[in-house]
Amino acid sequence: MTIAVLLLIVLIAGPVAPAAAQAPPASRFGITDNSFLIEEAFNQEAGIFQNIFVMARNTDNEWDGSFTQEWPVVSQRHQFSFTLPFSAVSNAMALGDLGLNYRVQVTDGEGRFPAFSPRLTLLSPTSAERRSLGGGGIGWQVNLPFSKQAGRMFFHGNAGTTLLPVEASATSTREWSNAPFTGGSAIVAVTPMFNLMLESLVVWTHEEGVREPSVTVSPGFRLGWNLGDQQIVIGIGVPVTRGDRHDTAVLGYFSYELPFRHK
Cβ count near 124 (within 10 Å): 13
Looking at residue 91, what is its pLDDT?
72
The predicted structure's pLDDT at residue 175: 79
pTM for this entry:
0.84
Name beta bridge partners: 93.
88
Give the span between the Cα atoms of 168 and 190, in whole angstroms. 52
At residue 60, the pLDDT reads 86
- pLDDT for the residue 183: 98
Q: What is the pLDDT of residue 173?
A: 65
Those residues of the chain that have pLDDT short of 50 are 1-26, 133-134
Q: How wide is the angle at C-alpha 135 spanned by C-alphas 134 and 136, nearest 5°? A: 135
Report residue 225 CA to chain centroid gap.
Answer: 22
Q: CA distances (Å), 14 to each of 43, 79, 124, in order?
A: 17, 16, 30
Q: What is the pLDDT of residues 13-34, one digit of tens each?
A: 344 433 334 444 445 789 999 9
